[in-house]
Each structure stands twice: as C-alpha cells, then as structure tokens.
C-alpha cells in the first residue's frame, strides 16, 4: 500500500519495462512520507512476473504507472516479505553477533514480527529496539550473497533502511559494493538524514526526494483506515505535516494536551532571569512518565510552533499555519521573535529528537534544548510573548 505520490510511482515503474533501472537509488525523506513504502512497492514490482498498468489522476493530470499483480508466486512471497531475492538491511542491536542469523531468539522474533507488519503496512515505524548501527559484518554478508546467483533467476532488490546508520567501517565497505555493481541487482537506500551518508556513496546513487504527503491524502488515510471523523482528520492532517506516522501518533494520544504541554515548556524557558527553577519544574512534570514516543511528540509540537512562526514572519498571514486555533498567540510570538534565527532553533530541536532516540536522558535533552532555544531567541529580542 502506497499513499499518494502517484507521479513518483509512475516514474519508478517506468524504469522496469524501459530497462533503465539504476544499480543504486537513494530515497530521501521522512519515514512517514513513504520512503520505505515506495522502496517496498518498487521491490514488489521488480520481482513480479505479471505486472499490470493502471492509470490514476494526479493533480488534474493522468499518470499511468505499473503495479505488481498481487497474485503471482513472487507477489505472494513479497506480501509477507519472504521473497528470497528481496533483502532488507537494518541496524542491529548491540551484542556479540555479526548477522541476523546470529541474533538471539527474542530479537529474531522481533525482527520477523516487524517485517510482517511493514509488509502489510509500510507506514509502521520499522527498527529494532536499541539498534543503533548497521555493521561492517552485515555489509560483508550482503556482498557475499550478491556474488551468488539470484534464487528465482530474476531481479534482486536490496533495501538498506536508514542507510545513514551505517558506521564508518560499514560505509567504506558498502562503497566498494557500489563500485562493483552486480547484474540485475538494485540497491535502494532510504534515509531521513542524507547529510550523514558519505558523499562518495550518495554520488553513486540516483537520488529520489520523497516530499511530504498532501494534506488531503493524509486526511483520506485517517478517515478510510482509522475511522477518524472527517473534521478531526483534517485537524490532525494539518499537524502531521505530510507525515503518516506522525498523524497516527496524534490519533492515539491527546494532541491538544500535549501541544499545550510543549508550549508551557517554551513559556517556562522564556521567562525572566530566574527562569531555571520554573523550567526545571516543567521538565520534571513532562518526564515523570518514561515514554520516549511522548517526548518525541512534545519536540514535534515545539518544532511545529517554530515553523509556524517562520510562516507568519515570512508571509505575514496565519492562513497556512498548523496551529490554526492559536493565531493570536502566534502573531504575538512572531512580533517578538520572528526575526530571530528560527532555523537554528529547529536544528536544536532536531538534534534533541536524535538524542532521545539514542536514549539520552529526556530531562537533560529537554533542558539543554530549551536553554539553547532561549539563547537563540534572546540574541535578537529581549521580550517574550507566547
């Protein structure tokens, strides 16, 4: 299942009958935009023995694209990601093992369960717990397997999920694999952080930028797949910013309460000179429950507020902001801080999100980030209004 992106699907699908499939592609975009979904869709099509051509409306134009038939032997195998010629490489947890075959039974079962899940819904978050790096041993095993013939004498697809998680040794070994392409093998790298991939690797890949999904596509998905009332779906879609994973996380939690909590943290950080006590108290309340996903959502709401401030400052209007019910507060905040380096604030929030995913202390991350944002904002103005 791929949501939206019909033009991209049309472009990818035409590569196969035209015989123009690159030996390596780099899909750049957030997981919730559909990078993994598009990679899996391409893999299904590449190994399908009886693909079919369909036409779909795309922004008023008609984009013809090819899709997998869904019923041949290969399609049955890829429906559960059991096809022998479709490989997914992802980061492994810390431990003394060199490949997926060496994983403890519980970790192996977790990986199998996740593969089954993304086979059915590629917009589910994919990644093993405590997995930080793709190791050189995985790349060596991949290189050995690619030297063998394909099991079903057809196209072979390798998907390197979050390729930016390759460590230095793995990256260097992977570069050698790209420099020696194999016949009928296509490697697809996905990443949300392209700057963390070696330029020598990205330069050898055909890059595909995966943009945020259209708000209407996110709304339709929430209504049709999660029985979300249309009005609620529209609000959630606005906050999701084209990201299906983010949209679903909002559905399962009290979005308004968490947004208010994020703004309260920002308010505490922007108080007078004696702000530290109030900020520490607010952070303590936010981190009492050990919930990584919740902290990440708070950071998302903080980032949305900063981006909305950028929009208000650059456009002079509140028509396209996510926080559509907070326009007066946004205008006041923009009047005070609109000329500050908001992009640097967003960088600080993005760094905080990465640290949270790496299991750094949430209270330390929030404190460091909010103090940093305070410093950036007050570099330009000395008054605050939230």
Task: Give the model confidence (pLDDT) of 311-340 as tens digits.
Answer: 999 988 888 888 877 889 999 999 999 999
Per-position DSSP letters for 125-172, written without gaps between them: ----TTEEEB-HHHHHHHHHHHTSPPTTSS-EEEEETTGGGB-HHHHH
Farthest CA pair distance, the chain: 70
Contact 342, 306 (CB under 8 A): yes
Contact 322, 218 (CB under 8 A): no
What stretches of the chain show up as alpha helix (H) in DSSP?
6-18, 35-47, 73-78, 105-120, 136-146, 168-179, 199-202, 215-226, 230-240, 244-251, 255-269, 275-286, 292-315, 327-337, 342-357, 362-378
Cα–Cα distance, 224 to 226 (Å, whole number): 6
Q: Does domain 6-209 have CATH number 3.90.226.10?
A: no
Q: Residue 71: helix, strand or coil by DSSP?
A: coil
Q: Can you give the pLDDT at residue 196?
A: 93
Residues of the chain with pLDDT under 50: 58-61, 382-385
Task: Give the model confidence (pLDDT) of 221-233 as tens digits.
Answer: 999 988 888 878 8
Cα–Cα distance, 291 to 50 (Å, whole number): 46
CA dihedral 129, 132, 136, 142 (to 10 degrees): 50
pTM (global) more than 0.75 = no
Cα–Cα distance, 250 to 265 (Å, whole number): 19
Cα–Cα distance, 312 to 27 (Å, whole number): 31
Cα–Cα distance, 349 to 364 (Å, whole number): 13
């Amino acid at each position: 299942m791929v949501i939206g992106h019909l033009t991209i699907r049309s472009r990818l699908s035409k590569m196969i009958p035209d015989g123009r499939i690159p030996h390596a592609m780099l899909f750049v975009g957030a997981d919730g935009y559909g990078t993994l979904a598009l990679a899996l869709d391409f893999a299904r099509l590449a190994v399908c023995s009886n693909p079919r051509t369909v036409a779909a409306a795309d922004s008023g134009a008609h984009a013809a694209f090819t899709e997998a038939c869904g019923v041949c032997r290969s399609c049955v195998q890829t429906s559960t990601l059991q096809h022998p010629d479709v490989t997914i490489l992802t980061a492994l947890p810390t431990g003394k093992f060199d490949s997926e075959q060496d994983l403890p039974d519980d970790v192996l079962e977790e990986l199998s369960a996740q593969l089954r899940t993304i086979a059915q819904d590629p917009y589910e978050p994919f990644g093993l717990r405590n997995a930080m790096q793709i190791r050189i041993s995985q790349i060596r095993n991949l290189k050995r397997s690619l030297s063998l013939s394909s099991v079903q004498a057809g196209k072979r697809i390798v998907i390197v999920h979050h390729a930016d998680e390759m460590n230095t040794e793995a990256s260097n070994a992977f570069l050698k694999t790209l420099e020696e392409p194999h016949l009928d093998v296509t490697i697809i790298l996905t990443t949300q952080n392209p700057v963390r991939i070696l330029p020598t690797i990205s330069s050898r890949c055909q890059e595909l930028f995966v943009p945020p999904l259209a708000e209407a596509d996110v709304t339709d998905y929430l209504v049709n797949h999660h029985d979300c009332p249309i009005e609620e779906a529209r609000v959630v879609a606005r906050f999701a910013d084209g990201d299906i994973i983010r949209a679903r996380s909002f559905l399962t939690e009290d979005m308004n309460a968490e947004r208010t909590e994020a703004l309260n943290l920002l308010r505490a950080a922007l108080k007078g000179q004696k702000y530290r006590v109030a900020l520490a108290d607010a952070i303590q309340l936010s981190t009492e429950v050990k919930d990584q996903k919740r902290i990440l959502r708070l950071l998302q709401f903080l980032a949305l507020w900063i981006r909305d401030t950028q929009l208000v400052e650059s456009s002079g209007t509140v028509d396209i902001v996510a926080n559509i019910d907070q326009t007066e507060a946004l205008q006041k905040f923009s009047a005070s801080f609109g000329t500050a380096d908001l992009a640097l604030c967003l960088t600080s929030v993005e760094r905080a999100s990465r640290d949270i995913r790496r299991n750094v202390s949430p209270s330390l991350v929030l404190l460091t980030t909010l103090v940093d944002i305070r410093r950036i904002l007050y570099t330009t103005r000395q008054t605050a209004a939230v």
